[in-house]
A and B are shown apart, each in its own frame.
Chain A
């Protein structure tokens, strides 16, 4: 079906991959700690995972996008058995009466970008070099497959005990509703596969190159610091400075708030406010936007260069805020309707970071 996969994800590249997923998580997407440990254990036992560009797969190859749903608090207590991916694949294969050819990471940002690596290793399946977001987003309908009009149905759900559910959500909103109900039924966490598609569809309906991008972001971070990350992503350094205020509140089930960064060094006298709702969504200076969703905004630790998750931002941290252009799919009319600034309650009309940085 394919020859000589060019890229593999293994023990030697897992940490780079996870670091890159954290950068693409834009402050959200969940902690990568437990996912990295689980993936490392699986890679050590079952060997590395092939990462395939979509054009290396036959047009009718069956691709299953997978991700975890649920409360972060549950995720750090009830850890996966590791068999969730196998249960999902078994259900999908029974449904379609044929083999699944590859897994796809549903959301590359944060821990969701790491967990499927372990599932793929255990199943001996390749991962396609793509995902459904190119970053992290808070809701399940915020997927490129939704923009492309791919049906969310059938959707498969599995817990850690071998329980499985097959659902036929009528659209992405129903997918979100059904998944939330199952999260409750299964005790706060569930693994899911939705928007299954063939490779021909995936070529036009996904964010291409996400997996190799995450890994090269992590490698660049390790070898060349944030400048390396900006080179790889075409991103911009928005400000370097000190966190001087963190304002948090919970609204509508999401952690909302602002982080104020006062510039230091070359940025002295600058002040940047980052608006947060689970993810970092908008960076402003004196009321003028520097970058906004769906472009990526990540707050990195000045010393380690690692991305800092939203819940760990504190007064006094020395940080560098970077902005990265999002995938073109999000800049289309349909894309902006689903994840543009208005969807998150901001008044700014969307302007690409490349234009704002000029």
Chain B
């Protein structure tokens, strides 16, 4: 951190939070406002509530948003995507978008073609037929194009060649997404992520527009960023190309913020909300990524997402007559429906008040009733969720955050220490405010000779992406290099993955194409 003030804003489904953080990481101001239908209004209001008098002292404003996730889940505002798979004759047995939920496919499907070409694991490249590709694209009325092919992580040149050709046909205004930049090994899941990425272009463009307008309305000239799935930053131009990478940013910001508030870099984070409790993990300062693909809106994908386990336990969870927990929540109506708030629905919050764990509302409205069974069941489920996220039996440090965290006590099975950071209720906005810029690359390479060179190439690709995302090229740090050997190959091959992070550049480097 370079010393100036930074603002983080997190737009969630219910609330839009903002936090102003100084150069030492101290939270100077914060706010919690209701999320609005128009993304710009809520951002503008939250920003106004934390802005210092000296606007120029703010050097960076970072926005995390759940808009992309909501768009996929609700099937709203999505673009119509033409999918080109460069693979024929391989893969014809499974056409693009096979297995998608019909309602999502109906909105997003703008046609698909499996054209000749493709890369083999041994490096051979099958030629493309330029006329076939032109014919597949020409005359289609689509808002975006997704391009993918086998082993493009190993050799992306053919996807890029096809992207150039398609751009000649559709013109510069139709966004084109290539799969090697979006996902990992697994053609179908990578292609699915690429299609979603293309479909989300206008959703994120709307957010970026509203964000820019909110900054302008307040006369803020600081560099704007969006946050992404690993809790790091990307420039707005980059976000427009990679909308799908904003989809898990809310959870990632919350995990990073909680860690920053306690100074811990390795811990389990339990975020208790009104409807659900999410357990995530911070490892070496960054959210642990999900080991297996994540299903989004019913579609299997494999781009990197924070590893989060959610259970239906929260402050608004209803109690059953058998004095246990129901599976539904009163959600946003907690402050009117719960007994302690004058309503007539017993909730987990009422049980916690009765148990003396928390004070809220009017305890007299409980008429002396108590629900020890429900409290025990909630404790059991949260301990169980924590245990599912652990990788060994060793007890772990636990950070308890979120509006409902006061429902739980100071000890938890499997936890060595339970920390309750101050300002836990706006941890997500704080996570956005303190975020760094990252770049990641994944390649499949021969490693018999030239293993070091292959790793270096992978790191270079990650570096290029970090700089494109807005990092200061002078201060990049390699935070992870993973190697997974591939089985059954005639020559030793590995899947290599590198990640670098650094502070954001004060003035982002000029826009360039991201073909790394």
Contact (Cβ within 8 A) A82 B488: no
Residues in B neighbouring A253, C-beta threshold 8 A: 487-488
Q: Is B292 an interface residue (CB 8 A)?
A: yes
Residues in A neighbouring B89, C-beta threshold 8 A: 81, 83, 160-162
B232-248 to A contact mask, C-beta < 8 Å, 1/0? 00000000000000000
B203-234 to A contact mask, C-beta < 8 Å, 1/0? 00000000000000000000000000000000
Q: Is B94 an interface residue (CB 8 A)?
A: yes
Question: Which one of A41, A73, A160, A183 has the highest number of Cβ atoms from chain B below 10 Å of its Cβ?
Answer: A73
Complexed CA–CA distance, A80 and B118 (Å) = 13
Complexed CA–CA distance, A318 and B381 (Å) = 13
Contact (Cβ within 8 A) B486 A71: yes
Contact (Cβ within 8 A) A71 B489: yes
Contact (Cβ within 8 A) B487 A73: yes
Q: Is A173 an interface residue (CB 8 A)?
A: no
Contact (Cβ within 8 A) B391 A315: yes
Complexed CA–CA distance, A318 and B389 (Å) = 12
Contact (Cβ within 8 A) B489 A160: no
Q: Is A34 an interface residue (CB 8 A)?
A: yes
Instruction: Name the residue of chain A whose CB is nearest to the CB of B490.
Output: A184
Contact (Cβ within 8 A) B150 A78: yes
Q: Is B364 an interface residue (CB 8 A)?
A: no
Contact (Cβ within 8 A) A78 B388: no
Residues in A neighbouring B300, C-beta threshold 8 A: 33
Complexed CA–CA distance, A314 and B92 (Å) = 34
Q: Is A316 an interface residue (CB 8 A)?
A: yes
Given A81-B93, A188-B122, A312-B292, A73 and B486 contact (CB-CB distance below 8 Å) = yes
Q: Is A317 an interface residue (CB 8 A)?
A: yes
Residues in B neighbouring A356, C-beta threshold 8 A: none
Contact (Cβ within 8 A) B186 A76: yes
Contact (Cβ within 8 A) B187 A317: no
Min CB–CB distance B268 → chain A (angstroms): 12
A315-358 to B contact mask, C-beta < 8 Å, 1/0? 11110000000000000000000000000000000000000000
Min CB–CB distance B290 → chain A (angstroms): 11
Q: Is B90 an interface residue (CB 8 A)?
A: yes
Contact (Cβ within 8 A) B187 A77: yes
Residues in A neighbouring B188, C-beta threshold 8 A: 33-34, 37, 76, 79
Q: Is A250 an interface residue (CB 8 A)?
A: yes
Q: Is B283 an interface residue (CB 8 A)?
A: no
Residues in A neighbouring B486, C-beta threshold 8 A: 71, 73
Q: Is A233 an interface residue (CB 8 A)?
A: no
Contact (Cβ within 8 A) A77 B488: no
Complexed CA–CA distance, A1 and B99 (Å) = 36
Residues in A neighbouring B124, C-beta threshold 8 A: 187
Complexed CA–CA distance, A187 and B89 (Å) = 14
Question: Which one of A42, A78, A80, A160 has the highest number of Cβ atoms from chain B below 10 Å of its Cβ?
Answer: A78
Q: Is B121 an interface residue (CB 8 A)?
A: yes
Q: Is A74 an interface residue (CB 8 A)?
A: yes
User: Which residue of the partner chain, among A33, A160, A184, contacts B90 with CB atoms under 8 Å?
Assistant: A160
Q: Is the interface of B mostly helix, strand, loop or mixed?
A: loop
Given A71-B489, A73-B487, A160-B90, A79 and B121 contact (CB-CB distance below 8 Å) = no
Residues in B neighbouring A187, C-beta threshold 8 A: 120-122, 124
Q: Is A244 an interface residue (CB 8 A)?
A: yes
Residues in B neighbouring A80, C-beta threshold 8 A: 90-91, 93
Contact (Cβ within 8 A) A317 B98: no
Min CB–CB distance B328 → chain A (angstroms): 19
Complexed CA–CA distance, A300 and B152 (Å) = 34
Q: Is B448 an interface residue (CB 8 A)?
A: no
Contact (Cβ within 8 A) B94 A37: yes
User: Which residue of the partner chain, among A33, A77, A118, A162, contacts B121 with CB atoms under 8 Å?
Assistant: A77
Min CB–CB distance A179 → chain B (angstroms): 11
Complexed CA–CA distance, A76 and B98 (Å) = 15
Contact (Cβ within 8 A) A315 B392: yes
Residues in A neighbouring B91, C-beta threshold 8 A: 78-81, 160
Given A74-B121, A79-B93, A255-B487, A244 and B186 contact (CB-CB distance below 8 Å) = no
Contact (Cβ within 8 A) A72 B94: no
Residues in B neighbouring A82, C-beta threshold 8 A: 92-93
Contact (Cβ within 8 A) A315 B390: yes
B174-217 to A contact mask, C-beta < 8 Å, 1/0? 00000000000111100000000000000000000000000000
Instruction: Name the residue of chain B whose CB is nearest to the CB of A312.
Output: B292
Complexed CA–CA distance, A242 and B187 (Å) = 33
Contact (Cβ within 8 A) A77 B98: no
Residues in A neighbouring B393, C-beta threshold 8 A: 244
Q: Is A70 an interface residue (CB 8 A)?
A: yes
User: Which residue of the partner chain, among A71, A77, A83, contacts B487 with CB atoms under 8 Å?
Assistant: A71
Min CB–CB distance B396 → chain A (angstroms): 12
Q: Is A155 an interface residue (CB 8 A)?
A: no
Complexed CA–CA distance, A250 and B90 (Å) = 30
Min CB–CB distance A110 → chain B (angstroms): 15
Residues in B neighbouring A135, C-beta threshold 8 A: none
Q: Is A38 an interface residue (CB 8 A)?
A: yes
Given A77-B187, A188-B121, A316-B389, A41 and B95 contact (CB-CB distance below 8 Å) = yes
A16-40 to B contact mask, C-beta < 8 Å, 1/0? 0000000000000000011001101
Interface residues of B in 142-191 (CB under 8 A from A): 150-151, 185-188
Q: Is B343 an interface residue (CB 8 A)?
A: no
Residues in A neighbouring B487, C-beta threshold 8 A: 71-73, 250, 253, 255
A254-281 to B contact mask, C-beta < 8 Å, 1/0? 0100000000000000000000000000
Contact (Cβ within 8 A) A81 B90: yes
Instruction: Name the residue of chain A whose CB is nearest to the CB of B92.
Output: A81
Instruction: Name the residue of chain B whose CB is nearest to the CB of A316.
Output: B388
Residues in A neighbouring B387, C-beta threshold 8 A: 242, 316
Instruction: Name the residue of chain B whose CB is nearest to the CB of A246.
Output: B391
Contact (Cβ within 8 A) B151 A77: yes
Min CB–CB distance B500 → chain A (angstroms): 25
Contact (Cβ within 8 A) B391 A70: no
Min CB–CB distance A123 → chain B (angstroms): 13
Instruction: Name the residue of chain A whose CB is nearest to the CB of B486.
Output: A73
Complexed CA–CA distance, A230 and B150 (Å) = 40
Contact (Cβ within 8 A) B98 A41: yes
Contact (Cβ within 8 A) B388 A41: no
Complexed CA–CA distance, A34 and B489 (Å) = 21
Complexed CA–CA distance, A41 and B94 (Å) = 7
Min CB–CB distance B92 → chain A (angstroms): 5
Interface residues of A in 295-327 (CB under 8 A from B): 312, 314-318
Min CB–CB distance B427 → chain A (angstroms): 24
Residues in B neighbouring A38, C-beta threshold 8 A: 93-94
Further 7 A-B residue pairs, CB within 8 A, beyond A40-B99, A71-B121, A81-B92: A41-B94, A73-B121, A73-B486, A78-B87, A78-B150, A79-B150, A317-B388
Question: Which residues of B are in contact with A by a Cβ distance under 8 Å?
Answer: 87-95, 98-99, 118, 120-122, 124, 150-151, 185-188, 291-292, 300, 387-393, 485-490, 495
Q: What 7 A-B pairs have minimum CB-CB distances, sorted nearest first?
A: A82-B93, A71-B488, A38-B93, A79-B91, A187-B120, A184-B490, A81-B89
Would you give 9 A-B contacts (Cβ < 8 Å), ordered by A? A33-B188, A77-B121, A80-B91, A81-B92, A160-B89, A160-B90, A162-B89, A244-B393, A255-B487
